[in-house]
Structure 1
Amino acid sequence: MRAGALLAVAGAVHARTNRRLLRRPLAAPPRCDEQVTVCVPARDEERTVGLLLGDLRRQVGVPRLRVLVLDDDSTDATAARARAGGAQVTSSHGPPAPGWLGKPAACHRLAELAREGRTPDVLVFVDADVRLAPHAVAASVELLRRHRLALVSPWPTQLAGSVAERLVQPLQQWSWLTTLPLRVAEFSRRPSLAAANGQLLVVDAAAYAGVGGHGAVAAEVVEDVALARALRRAGHRTAPADGSTLARCRMYDGAREVRDGYGKSLWTAFGSPAGSAAVLALLGLTQVLPAVAALAGSGRTRAWGLLGWAAGADSRATAARTAGTPGWPDSVAQPVSVLVLAALTVHSHRGHRRGALTWKGRQLP
């Protein structure tokens, strides 16, 4: 019990330290005179793509901005909404080629289109369900250049409506705030220290092409982190950043989408079933067991449990302040969040073994 509580305290201290070290965008970035191409992969996104394109039309400080949308074999009016939004739209029909998953294939095609005509200096990959502030693109490119990065990932605020979303979504940012030594990771080339969110990725076009772009991560379910790792292996620097003032996204809507969305990727998130078991055991020791001890223990056991639970809640609250999401009462429910994550991870591994994982109507490996 003591070990778990002390590790939770260390995580809380580390999260507070990382909050101070996290790279942040300028509220009023300078004019960006580089050729910037925004790439939007979209599959069945008729409800959201028009809103994103409206945000992109309102971008300031990026006069050489080009917007490309790939309609990835949608069954709805995604392409029509994108054209109405003023984007250059290309449609892809049928499943991706063998050896490719849908999103890497769509991003790869978009990057190819971007190189036709006006060769971009910077590529911005953004999901269709993201909403952007008017200075988001200019501020993101400024971050990339100011810190001499090949890839920067401004982490959008994760909007959550249902209980399931509020329990699970904040764990994304919490996980790397509590465990990743940000400044060390930024200057290290170790692939294992990469953190990225494909909802909004800003990449130096030359570095991207040099590693093969999304072709280097064609079969990766978690293609955003895989791309950051490919860049690191080539000697480039990558980093997450605070994107709470630049972008927001409701990634999933309701418990079913949370289950299916995380089901498609958690089986690969920790490397292997053994890796998943090790990570979940550590999370249980530091985030769940202290709460159990605080509620059911007595004497010193209860005291250590209260300390560990409070530390876990503090690290969760730090992540919430960083992301601009609710900290109360969500942070106190951190042990429940971890239990839900464990259940989702088990569900994902079972689905992978059975070959039963799908996303947006496509079979996953």
Structure 2
Amino acid sequence: MLLIDLLGFTLILPLLPSILEYYGKTDHDGIYQSLQHSVAWFADMIGVPSVRKYNSVLFGGLIGSVFSVLQFLVSPVTGAASDHFGRRPLMMLTTAGLIASYALWALSQNFGIFLLSRIVGGISKGNVSLSTAIIADLPSPRARSKGMAMIGVAFSLGFTIGPMIGAYFASSTGKDGSFFLQTAQLALVFAVSDLVFIFLFLPETLPRQKRVTSISSTFQNAIDLLSPVALLKFSAVQQRTDSPSPEGMRALKAIALLIPAFLIIGWANTVLVLYIGLLFYSFAAAIVIPCLSALVSGYGAANQKGTVMGILRSLGALARALGPVVAATVYWLAGAEVCFTVTSFTFLIPLALLTIPKVKKSE
């Protein structure tokens, strides 16, 4: 189910620079040019060379940041809603939103409609946090860990195979307005297939007797679901339980491995050394996300797993929205060595947080 969704989501990745270039030449509604001026101003401010490829990267990053900001806002709310209505209805609703997003992309004749499709997609992408909430509903810590690992596998396969499929379909067409049509239609087929699969085969994992009884109580502290500070404190979570320690230890080791990985990448002077750093990074990243997800799934009451996993997904989206902007600024102002060195030392923060004893529990 999640793999099908990720295949549709990643089809656009290799096409995004060409799509933006196409709209830059053909779009005249003012939206593209307005965003382009903002990107150019940011590039001048941090000293990015006036080269088209860099501009395309920054512009694509802006579109990606908009998508991530919307996920940051929607994921905790979607998760909290699933604590009341159940996982299955929200999964169907978010998947229907993705269908609308891909349909808009297939029909987009100008940049405004394409941007609208990305906005609708960002709002509807709460299904990823719902997938982790479904795994978090499992009563066994071992089963939760295995489920989170399978989600990690789905992400790896999706982000490997999806872009390849998208590039293949795009390469078989010209560069006119239809060069992305087949890819958009395929993403639509994936989303429809996902909705059919959910309708036919996905059981409800949150029984009615375990759900939040009042929808008003779910959203009464909306600031706890939208404020970054409150999200970092998991203020919306009313109760915590002891999390399984093996996942925490694995996450610690993986995060520690990211420090030398970033240092090697930043200071690499040959392609071989760069590949070694990327190997360490890939290995650590493949471990840390599933382990942290399994660790966090142990927090919260039984009827709050949607809120918990939604907050986790929301914080990840916030990092994906702000991280590239901050890193790009440091990179162009101070160089690759300083950028990757500073970034590597920031991993000391989660290392410290994971090693601090949890002596206090929420009431």
TM above 0.5, one fold?
A: no
The structure with higher relative contact order (CA 8 Å, sep 6+) is 2
Query: TM-score, structure 1 length as denominator?
Result: 0.28
Q: Please, what TM-score do these two structures have when normalized by structure 2? A: 0.28
| Structure that is richer in helix per residue | 2
